Amino acid sequence: MTRFTLWGAGLMMLVVGALHLMAPQMMMREPGIELATTNHLHIIRAAYGGAYLGIAALFLSGALGWIDARPALISVVLIFGGFALGRLVSIALDGVPVALYLGVLGAEVFFTVCALRALRRRR
């Protein structure tokens, strides 16, 4: 369960981070977010692209045994759980987003639960 969770969450963040870094316009087109200035592109490449790639490196480092898996699993719970919480609050306050974001919410909840189960098994 540990390796599955860290590989799955890590690869998800790797793909999403690389796409935000290399093709921010494409990534923002589906949810209807227009990137009209250099500053908009800068924020997406840094905050989504760079940060997500850093998160991917953390998760994959745990999967590969470069760091202890326990802190990597705790990071999955905190990061993906935080994303999911934010999305759920947004759905309650703002309404339902595009289907893409609902799918991402599903993946975040799934990997959060997987990480919690893996942590429980590691005790």
Upper half-sphere CA count for residue 58 (Cβ side, 13 Å): 19
CA angle 18, 96, 29 (to 5 degrees): 35
Residue 122: the pLDDT is 85
Q: How many CA atoms lie within 13 A of 28 on its CB side?
A: 17
pTM over 0.85, yes/no: yes
Reduced to 3 states (helix: H, G, I; strand: E, B; else coil), residue 16 is helix
pLDDT for 30 equals 81
- In tens digits, what is the pLDDT along the chain, a chain of 123 residues? 999 999 999 999 999 999 999 999 999 988 889 999 999 999 999 999 999 999 999 999 999 999 999 999 999 999 999 999 999 999 999 999 999 899 999 999 999 999 999 999 987
Biggest CA–CA distance in the chain, Å, is 50
Burial 76-106 (b: 16+ CB within 10 A, else e): bbebbbebbeebeeeeeeeeeeeeeeeebbe
Q: For residues 18 and 89, is the Cβ–Cβ distance under 8 A?
A: no
The pLDDT score that the predictor gives to residue 94 is: 97
Write the single-letter amino acid at 98: V
